[in-house]
Amino acid sequence: MGDIRNILILTGAGISAESGLATFRGPDGLWEGHRVEDVCTPQAFRRDRALVQSFYDQRRAALAAVVPNFAHLALARLDAAWPGELLIVTQNVDDLHERAGATRLLHMHGELMSALCLACGARSRWSGDLGDGPACPACAAAGTLRPDIVWFGEIPYQMERIEAALGRADLFVSIGTSGAVYPAAGFVQQARACGAATLELNLEPSAGSAWFEETRSGPAGALVPAWVDEMLAR
């Protein structure tokens, strides 16, 4: 790797696995016992609102029982110390990056701790349940809040900011993601086209591994702190 000033880091469910949160594509192909299309689409929400609200209410409540792991903490350390541009783009809807202390962070697939109002479009911080139809803090309409999650068929958040950061990146690092869901799965090709070095840190080779110049296999809790140490020693 040559001179590195600007870093873009993409994270996925694998970075939170060692905190005890299930990844999406486990060996049984289910997410917490559900088919992804039964809980992660606008159609599913229209078909069975109570099921989808209750599913995300459980995921939100589960966050209280988990803590950031060594990988989240190492990225927060890099974020605090890195003098160049740095952006952590997470596909995760948990809040473990920010609880570890990361600040240069965006949630492209939304957040469990946020509610989206179908009436006024406001996004409000949310820590309780949505299933009992609470009023929107912004417009006061009742029963209009849905999980602020980007479901299949919806457009991820802040794509322009991500594209701009990809264009400026000297290094693109992908951590704990299967490379199965676009547009995030295509970031490595975009980064390469703009001249960035590319590195994958994942438990096992992913669907996109062949696109990376370097791939390291192992648990994020070990690989990420070691890589951060390397970066800060440069």
Residues in touch with ligand OAD (CB under 6 A): 12-14, 17-18, 23-25, 36, 40, 91, 109, 149-150, 176-178, 180-181, 202-204, 206, 219-220
State which residue, 79 or 148, has the beta carbon closest to ligand OAD. Answer: 148
What minimum distance in Å lies between the beta carbon of 2 and ligand OAD?
27
State which residue, 13 or 136, has the beta carbon closest to ligand OAD. Answer: 13
Q: Is 142 helix (H, G, I), strand (E, B) or coil?
A: strand
Question: Is 109 one of the catalytic residues?
Answer: yes
Given 72, 97, 107, 109, the catalytic residue:
109
What minimum distance in Å lies between the beta carbon of 205 and ligand OAD?
9
State the DSSP H helix or E strand holding residue 149, giving kind and residue range, or none if neither: strand 145-149
Q: 82 exposed, middle or buried (CB, 10 Å; 0-12, 13-18, 19+)?
A: middle
Residue 57 has a CB neighbour count (10 Å cut-off) of: 17
Among 74, 67, 60, residue whose Cα is nearest residue 19: 67
State which residue, 204 or 214, has the beta carbon closest to ligand OAD. Answer: 204
The token pair at 23 is 């990844």
Residue facing ligand OAD at closest CB distance: 14
Alpha helices in 10-122 (DSSP H): 36-39, 42-47, 49-62, 70-81, 96-100
What minimum distance in Å lies between the beta carbon of 70 and ligand OAD?
10
